Copies of this chain bind each other. A is one copy, B any other.
Amino acid sequence: MLVSIDHSSSVSLAEQIAASVRRGLVDGSVRKGDRLPPARSLARTLDINMHTVLRGYQILKNEHLIDMRPGRGAVVTADAPASTLVTEACRHFVALAQRAGMSRTDILDLLHTQLHAATQGPPGLD
């Protein structure tokens, strides 16, 4: 898995690390059961602080993508790469909607509308 960071980006380093792992899940370079590099060593590699790496891992933990335990490290618990793609699409949708000033209710309404529209459509199983 390739973890690269950009100090000049507006995205926080922790979020960039989390994004790298998500990308790895999508392209298959990271799979369920894999162990992420120890925070200390990855921090040394990227020349950033250990806490920053752990903060990135924590984001993934909150998303239930990995499990963390002292002594054992960070282990990927994600189900399927497809669900990660879906999650990414969901994240993108939420970010865009909130940027447009939509409330939580607005977002749910829009989703319901699309769900109804989609169920009337053809089965997209190809």
Contacts and interface: CB of A to CB of B under 8 A. Distances in A.
Q: What is the copy number of this chain in the assembly?
A: 2
Interface string A104-124: 100110110111011010001
Given A11-B98, A91-B114, 16 more contacts: A18-B101, A19-B100, A23-B100, A26-B100, A62-B120, A80-B100, A87-B114, A89-B92, A90-B110, A91-B117, A92-B93, A93-B93, A94-B114, A94-B118, A95-B118, A108-B108
Contact of A101 (B23, B87, B120): B23
A92 B111 CA distance: 11
Contacts of A11: 98
A122 to B, nearest CB: 11
